[in-house]
A and B are shown apart, each in its own frame.
Chain A
Amino acid sequence: MTDQRDELIELYALGALPADEAAEVEDYLASNSQAQQRYSQYRHISQALLWSVEQRDPPAGAYERFRERMATPSNVPAKPSQQPTQRSSWLANLFGRRYRLMATALTLFLVLLGGAGGRIWQLQNEVGALQPLVEQNKQLTALLGESGTQLVPLADTGNGMAGGTINIIVNPQTGQSYLRASHLPPLTANQSYQLWLIADGTPQSMEVFGVDTSGDALIWIDRLPSTGAENLLGITVEPAGGSQQPTSNPVAVGTIDA
């Protein structure tokens, strides 16, 4: 029976494995001479590919910026220490700005509410406007505190995300998810983005969504379709309103950890 790690040797040689899987392959290589030989051959291909790209000059001013960076000792960063992933850091890093803005807005609102007395009526509309954000914030905070919640940043597949980013916080147990997209390319009026759960190769629609003029979207999803042994999340561009099945290749994909 073939060791499953044997199937990962090509990706290991191509530098496409995350650290945990790379470590498994290294253990395997250390104990299998045939695998070592194959890896050695593939490694040469990988090295050849390093040099195969079309050459481009760095942007104007890059050398000056490099000199400036290296000339200032304080600019040379110390070795970064590995920080354990914490839910609070997710919030700070991913949703921090929005979270802080909402908190600031709420604080200001409460101060105004307390101090303005008879002007409450003037603020009623703002209360209404803030309420959905408050509720969403409560949901997000609760989701982040739940066991099994994980962050799934989606990888740009090169099919048209154009530098945008998509992060999804998902809890496979509760089925609740939170999608944050930034700087996605705008769509035409007859197109939508569609989020899919691909469970054991079968795509199931999770959400159809659009983006604002900045290419951003922040979406709460209450339900996760049935998961399988291997679960991916993918985003495709579909006709407005979404499709029953994906009709285009995904612009981004990510893996939900088992």
Chain B
Amino acid sequence: MANQPASNAARAAASGDQADLALAAELAAGNIQALEILYERYARPIFSLALRILGNEADAEEVMQDVLERVWRYSGSFDAQRGRFGSWVLGMTHHVAIDAVRKRSRRPQAVDAEASELMLGLISDPNQPDMTDQAIQHEQAGQVRDALRSLPEAQQQAIELAFFRGLSHLEIAATTGEPLGTVKTRIRRGMERLRTVLSKTGVFND
């Protein structure tokens, strides 16, 4: 029973993967028509993630437009052997949005477009099963949210401050008023627990 969603997701992902591979190829070939498909397929998840990180629609749309343009410009560097197209796109979104948060309100960062491009290679790992992009979006996103909510509140908060705000251990400690060691422990335990819960629900397997 637990594996059923994963099976459905895997089937959906397989068809989605093929469509995404075709889309990536069209973008890399410079087919301007492919931009419409890119927008239809990814504007919503890109905007949603950017909005979650940045907290306001104007900034989230700016990041969305920026990411869509980067996907167009750098689609030739997408390597299907390293992971799925959707993970590549949303990984880029996360990176650009966190970078925007830091530029807006944090210590100076050395990360720029070139560094961003380099970091894209870190998002995917060819030796591991990947998340199932569109299928995850529709079928498993709720499971991931549930898994996050199932954590003790302090662990959930620490992980969310790191992932959705880009805060360091020290900054999370200052934000929550907890000792640094406690913050580190909470994040590690929270990640371990998430891994266990998500594996059981079939979102991914070890």
Q: Which residues of A contact B (CB under 8 A)?
A: 7, 10-11, 13-22, 26, 40-59, 62-63, 65-67, 69-70, 76, 79-80, 82, 85, 151-159, 161, 163, 165-166, 198, 201, 230, 232, 234, 246, 249-250, 252-255, 257
Contacts and interface: CB of A to CB of B under 8 A. Distances in A.
A57 B109 contact: no
Contact of A198 (B43, B119, B174): B174
B10 interface: no
B45 interface: yes
Interface of B: 32, 35, 39, 43-45, 47-49, 51-52, 55-57, 61, 64-65, 68-69, 72-73, 87, 90-91, 93-95, 98, 101-115, 119, 122-123, 125, 127-131, 133, 136-137, 140-141, 144-145, 147-148, 159, 161-163, 165-171, 173-177, 179-180, 184, 187-188, 191, 194-195, 198, 203-204, 206
Given A53-B48, A82-B112, A155 B171 contact: yes
Contact of A58 (B47, B103, B174): B47
A62 B69 contact: no
B15 to A, nearest CB: 17
Contact of B206 (A41, A234, A253): A41
A57 B56 CA distance: 13
29 contacts: A15-B163, A16-B167, A18-B107, A18-B109, A26-B122, A40-B125, A44-B128, A44-B195, A45-B191, A48-B203, A48-B204, A50-B87, A51-B136, A52-B144, A53-B51, A53-B52, A54-B48, A55-B44, A56-B44, A67-B35, A76-B73, A155-B106, A156-B104, A156-B105, A158-B165, A166-B105, A234-B174, A246-B177, A254-B106
Contacts of A52: 141, 144-145, 148
B176 A16 contact: no
Chief secondary structure at chain A's binding surface: mixed
A62 B47 contact: yes
Contacts of B112: 80, 82
Contacts of B73: 76
Contacts of B94: 15, 50
Nearest to A251: B175
B171 A232 contact: yes
A254 B114 contact: no
B194 A45 contact: yes
Contact of A43 (B125, B180, B206): B125
A94 B166 CA distance: 22
B140 A42 contact: no
B45 A66 contact: no
- Which of A50, A151, A201, A254: most chain B CB closer than 10 A? A50
Given A50-B91, A165-B105, A17 B131 contact: no
A79 B113 contact: yes
- Which of B61, B106, B108, B114: most chain A CB closer than 10 A? B106
B174 A253 contact: yes
Contacts of B43: 58, 62-63, 66
Contacts of A50: 49, 87, 90-91, 93-94, 131
B127 A40 contact: yes
Contacts of A252: 105
